[in-house]
Structure 1
Amino acid sequence: ARESGADIQVVTLPVAAIPRARVMNDTRGVLKAIVDNKTQRILGASLLCVDSHEMINIVKMVMDAGLPYSILRDQIFTHPSMSESLNDLFSLVK
């Protein structure tokens, strides 16, 4: 994305900061997302954590629909869940 000249942000959240990961006693990994500052769209994501196979479907749906990252930042998720970490990850976008 940077090589194409896009104005992007890369945000990163350690899995150790996620309440559900601590409850499951598996805090290994990191969540990372790339957001286009101009369009506010998610360009990509890497989710290296327990239950990432479920979370990536949510991110992909927002990407496919062309929606802004704020949809995931502001979404209400159950607590504690791994999906609620998407609130925290996308709250890091400035």
Structure 2
Amino acid sequence: MRLLLLPLFASAAAAQGVVSATVYSQPNFGGVLRNVIGFGCVNLDDVGFKIESIELRRRTFCYAYGKVNCAGASIYMSSSVGDLWRYLTMESAHCFDAS
């Protein structure tokens, strides 16, 4: 049983270092960028710029939230969005590995 749990733990730990998405300061994936590391709720209010677009990692989907701690209004994204500013001011995101 111990051998089964060890690979599962290693996979979960490795997933935390994965870039799940990249956020950009300009529409259409331009300007300054910051990587979103791992899955789960990530606050993005401290990236240093207003997020205008987001590029999702392959086989990833995310919910973008208008408030920190994944609260408030949200939108679902199953692919990259080049004009996020039309939908909401993004303060946090919750990304999931869909592979």
Q: Same fold (TM over 0.5)?
A: no
Q: Which structure dedicates a bigger proportion of its chain to strand?
A: 2
The alignment's TM-score, normalised by the length of structure 2, stands at: 0.32
Q: Between Structure 1 and Structure 2, whose CA radius of gyration is higher?
A: 2
